[in-house]
Structure 1
Amino acid sequence: MSQNCNYDTLLFLEYQNTTSTVVCLLIERNTQNYELAAKTCANNHTPTHATPWRHNPVPISTKERRLSYRLKRRQKAIMSSPNLSEEEESPSSGKHPTVGRNEGVTIPTPPTITSQVNPWQYLQSASNETIGGFPTPQLGQSVWYNIAQTLREKWPQKDGPKAWVHTFRAQHKENAQATVAKLQSLILRIIGEEVTDSLLISTPTAEEELYEWFPPPYHFLVSGIPQNTITRLTDMGTCSSPEATCFFVLYNQPLPRYICTLEHFTFPDAETSNLAITDIVKRTISADHSVSEFIHKNIPSPDAEAALKAINSIRVSSLNISVARNTTHTVWNVHVDSPPNLSLKDYFEWTSRIRNLLFISEDYGSATIRSEEHQFMCFGCKSFDHPTGLCPFPRIQGWFGPTASTSDDSSKASLNSCANHSAPSSKSNASPQGRGNGGRGRGR
């Protein structure tokens, strides 16, 4: 036998009568299955003529016979293993056989990203669409918040259509190269490579350093592309893909539907309670004439029913928040489905006036508004109407971003949400109170 054959791994010898070549089948065992690698060992004997095997048997040693028996015992495992590619078989390729192949296990196929205006195409292929599509993040502050003053002056002067984009769990970073690269690659896959040279993603610079978790600014400005491509991005709104998970926002930031969160009512958590609280909120707001007068003084065109339309569109929904591992309290979010036609600055002023009201029930006590450091703010989608642990996006089937918190993790869905705003080693309370282009401070 040839000295090149390794008897520790040799399982079978097949003698070919025409070439007298010994083919050594080697087996590599891994955690999932057996992978095959083949190499050829030349026999030193060269026959003078071809003779059928049955007439010229080659003597087989006892060790070879044992190895042949072992091969028969493992024949089923060998036959069920996939064949290696030539690249894997080649000793010079430097690549190892693929680990863990198992034809019995179905590996999901990654989604194919196309240029259609359909945000669900970016979820994993096995996902089912949620009724109504993705939820809309309820941003409680301006996208300009904490952006340097020089950029506030320069960016509006950029020619052409513009839009904003921020990633899931966004925060300001001094070095945003990786984020910009991912966003640029993703946007080009959505709108097409033909705008590669013109697409510009501008990075925000902070006006001041904020000592809090996931501090702003984190909205990037998208420009340099035609209006139809900007519209495609903003119509999509949310994109969950393997490359990045992000949210597109109109350059003229839309008004949020969220007004405030009520707590301390003793109502039971039921739909009838939501309707009763909705009635209390509407009556309380209507009784305060300054809230309605503010709308009529600041809308761009006169509308005698503007305040009435907004108040009538108010709705209330409950939210269960963890207090302890097995204890929850109910709070109620107040939304307006038809917000008044105000600027973003005036809208925040209008909701601030509502937050100063006192909401009282004859039988279920009075409610207070969650504000200041107790204001909810989701680290993921940046919404103000829920804490991080109750973010709806990671609960969508097929979501590519971080997974949802487990039921045991109540820290981010707690009534004591101060940790949602203050960093562990805060040097100062740097969250500004001002309005205007900067919008409201966090939780204000």
Structure 2
Amino acid sequence: MDTSEDATAGMRTTAGVIQMTNGQQYTAPPTGGFPRPECVESPLRNTTDRNRADWGAEKGPKGFVRVYRANSSTPPESSSAPPTAREELEERLPAPWNFLVTDIAADALKKLTDQGWWSTPTITFYVFGPDIPLPRYIMTLQNLCTGADHEACKFVARIVTDKLKSLKEASEFLIKHSAAGDKDAESALDTIEAKPLEIALPGGESDLVWNIYFTPPKSIDFFRLLEWTSSARKLTYDTARHGTGVPRVGRDQLFCIGCKGYDHPTGLCPLPRLVGWFGAPLQSVSADDKTLSKADERNERNDNKKSKGGKGPRTGGNGHRSGNRNSRRRN
């Protein structure tokens, strides 16, 4: 992608597509910018020790790039450092996903990372800098019997906030591992918000789950933040009349094989719905991806095994099957 001033001068936008003077095209950023994937794993996941050492030794401006709905088997147009997998993972499009980009001007890298997603007729990719973006996502709760209106959003956010505030170590951890005087660390728990998400289940039913987000302290280390959110996902969130909120963990964790976000299944990825999007369209997404999270798909396969005398389905990390308390038949 040519981001020089000569190439970007005189650009025009038609039907969500930016036309450059050199003939290149890419999807125009929507109002407010492209949605950023809520990635809660290291960009170096499943890379070798040699990979990490070599990449860490690279000097000068550098960043990471990954291709939409692909992994390391699909390299971007230009990359000087492809990843090497530590082991073979039993996943669809398994990690590693990210390529290290070097030998790039600092201003060009900033322009690429500021926009994040770049979708062209030939390739769609995401770019981020060596400072890993801090995710706002904490977890996805299931098993709460609520509606999905504004009052329900406030209610779910409040039960999570109250539970975490009742644990002294929850706030102390954020303060301890943030820079001294970081006011964001002291008020982080007050920024918790809940957003409803309806996901499809096997058998034509659906389930209302809740994604929980907050504004993390800007100065906290990425891996310390993941340590904190991991602890939050080990808890349950009780209510007097609406059931107990249980985090979806392990194989029940939502995951999008397109953007690599953890707060929605592939079929609910917001990117293919953008005007002018060149990446994989919704029509090309398989039926499984459209209707099931990765976890639910696996549970259904295990149910089939059990009916044939095989091993039955395992429960998630909290001993609950996904989506069984607030499910309903889809019309």
Where does the alignment leave 5 or more consecutive residues of structure 2 unmatched?
Answer: 1-14, 303-331
Change in 2 beyond 3 A, CA 1:114/1:331: farther
Mapped to 1, the partners of 2:179 and 2:291 lie a distance apart of 39
- Checking the alignment, whether the CA contact within 8 Å between 2:69 and 2:257 is kept in structure 1 is yes
**Greater Rg by CA:** 1
2: distance between equivalents of 1:314 and 1:228?
Answer: 34
* Equivalent-residue separation in structure 1 for 2:261 and 2:298 (angstroms): 12
Q: Please, which of 273, 277, 286 is the counterpart of residue 395 of structure 1?
A: 273
The aligned runs of 1:175-324 (5 Å cut-off) are: 179-180=75-76, 183-184=77-78, 201-303=80-182, 305-324=183-202
Output one character per residue of 1:417-443: Cα deviation in whole Å (capped at 9) or x when no partner: 25479x99xxxxxxxxxxxxxxxxxxx
Task: Report the Cα offset of residue 308 of structure 1.
Answer: 3.4
Partner of 1:374: 252
Q: Which consecutive unaligned segments of at least 5 residues does structure 1 have?
A: 1-107, 116-120, 185-199, 425-444
Structure-to-structure mapping, 1:97-112, within 5 angstroms = 112=19
Q: Deviations over 1:97-156 (max 9, x none)?
A: xxxxxxxxxxx99852369xxxxx612xxx8x6331211111121101111111211111
State the 1:337 CA deviation.
2.6
Shift in Å at residue 415 of structure 1?
5.5
Q: Are 1:139 and 1:382, in contact at CA under 8 Å, matched by a contact in 2?
A: yes
> How high is the TM-score relative to the length of structure 1?
0.59
**SS at 1:278 equivalent:** helix
Work out the percentage of aligned pairs sharing the same amino acid: 32
Map 1:111-150 → 2, pairs under 5 A: 112-113=19-20, 122-123=26-27, 130-150=30-50
Higher relative contact order (CA 8 A, sep 6+): 2
The whole-number CA distance in structure 2 between the counterparts of 1:144 and 1:407 is 27
> Aligned letter for 2:170?
V
* SS of corresponding position for 2:50: helix
Distance 1:213 1:415 in 2: 12
Change (3 A) 1:338 1:350: closer
* Stretches (4+) displaced over 4 A: 108-111, 405-408, 418-421
| Residues 241/293 of structure 1: CA separation in 2 closer, same or farther (3 Å cut) | same
Q: Distance in 2 between matches of 1:320 and 1:275?
A: 17
- TM-score, length-normalised on structure 2? 0.79
Separation in 2 of the partners of 1:420 and 1:379? 15
- CA–CA separation in structure 2 for the residues paired with 1:110 and 1:301: 45
What is the letter of the counterpart of residue 319 of structure 1?
L
Aligned length: 286
Distance 2:217 2:288 in 1: 33
Map Cα deviations across residues 11-59 of structure 1 (whole Å, 9 max, x no partner). Answer: xxxxxxxxxxxxxxxxxxxxxxxxxxxxxxxxxxxxxxxxxxxxxxxxx
Q: Which one of the candidate residues 239, 259, 264 is aligned to 1:386?
A: 264
Question: Structure 1's 420 and 109: CA in aligned 2 closer, same or farther, altered over 3 A?
Answer: same
Q: Secondary structure at the match of 2:19?
A: coil
Rounded to whole Å, the distance in 1 between the matches of 2:284 and 2:204 is 13
The CA distance in 2 between the partners of 1:113 and 1:205, in whole Å, is 35
